[in-house]
Copies of this chain bind each other. A is one copy, B any other.
Amino acid sequence: MDSAKKDDVFAIEALRDWATRLYRAYGFDERDADRIVDSLFFAELHGIASHGLQRIGMYDMLIGNPNGGVDVNAKAEVVRETPVSAVVDGHHAMGQITSAMAMELAINKARTSGIGIVTVRESNHFGAAGYYTNMAAEAGLLGFASTNTGPIVLPLYATHPFLGTNPIAFSMPAKPHPFFFDAATSIVSHGKIEVCKKEGRQLPEAWMVDGHYQPIWDPKQVPARPGLDVDGGMLPVGGMSEETGGHKGYGFSILAEIFCGILSQGNTSSEVDGLGIRHGVGHCFAAIDPGLFGDPDVIIDRFSDYLEQIRRVPAAPGHRVYVHGDKEEIAYQAITAEGVVRLDPETVASMRSVGDRMGVAFR
């Protein structure tokens, strides 16, 4: 997440109201503005601050960018469809709006056909992938979501990036809350490395290598942003060698690319330019009805019991065995009980500046 100090405290409802007015001011209609805000708050309230309100500044750079980026007036279009699948051209509309539409389409197909897979091309940053898989879980379905990104990750043993951080997320209904997995196929997200750089801290693990394939520890050595022509880059999950399993994260990254860039017939990570301004990113969404395989209530109860057994496995000293989604649920309960969100000064300054320019003053 973000280790910067978060001194400023804001009431959730007032923040949400401000954010909705901001996106209305950009020209989004009420439903679309609500969707964007809902996605941002899903992340913020579940403790996924990296994809929460701090993204408002980045989205501001993309919305109405004269070089491309987000086209406020664009509407995503279904260009191909079967009872179990669809291909969506985002036409550079806001990533969240296109993506929620695509996941709804996958959910509807899963409700009628049992399975729905929707690939998306020419889209924009879609926020937290888990927002969409959570939509499926709320509908009682197993949900998948993935996206490609700009090229900042190395294929194993390569010295130049070619892959995106290509997160893969999935959610499965469970009690008391869904199983929720949302992870970049790189060791960490780029944001974690940026935090080290900002704070002048050594990188704690071999998350990146330089052009000689040597781990980068010194934050000064971290390139402004890795890219096709930059030496070195981020390592895939599993690390820098086959003995540590680096080919595995590398493989899962290509899996994301097969769905988001190849089956969408859009851009691969290697073709996406900075933030996808001219060449949009691609996504994939899928939903599967557990009822295809048996009584869904029985299946979900047994899965819940299975997860509960994992939580009870003895843990290393000072640790607890969490199941994916537990930490997000704990954060959600704590934040919503308090009714406030804590933001770091940089995020607040960025929101203030964007609000002022858009005529929607923040505080």
Contacts and interface: CB of A to CB of B under 8 A. Distances in A.
Nearest to A181: B251
Nearest to A188: B245
A220 interface: no
Contacts of A299: 262-263, 265
A225 interface: no
A315 B181 contact: no
B262 A306 contact: yes
Given A188-B245, A245-B237, A255 B115 contact: no
A248 interface: yes
A316 B262 contact: no
B85 A115 contact: yes
Contacts of A257: 306
Given A84-B114, A114-B85, A309-B162, A262 B303 contact: yes
A245 B249 contact: yes
Interface stretch (A7-15, A19-27, A272-280, A317-325): A317-325
Interface in A267-325: 268, 270, 288, 290, 292-294, 298-299, 302-303, 306, 309-310, 313-317, 319-324
Contact of A316 (B213, B243, B265, B314): B213
Contact of A205 (B213, B244, B249, B250): B244
Interface string A232-256: 0000011100011101111110110
Interface stretch (A69-77, A152-160, A329-337, A340-348): A152-160
A82 interface: yes
Contact of A204 (B115, B160, B185, B243): B243
A264 interface: yes
Contacts of A324: 247, 250-251, 254
Contacts of A156: 321-322
A119 interface: yes
Contacts of A350: none
Nearest to A203: B243
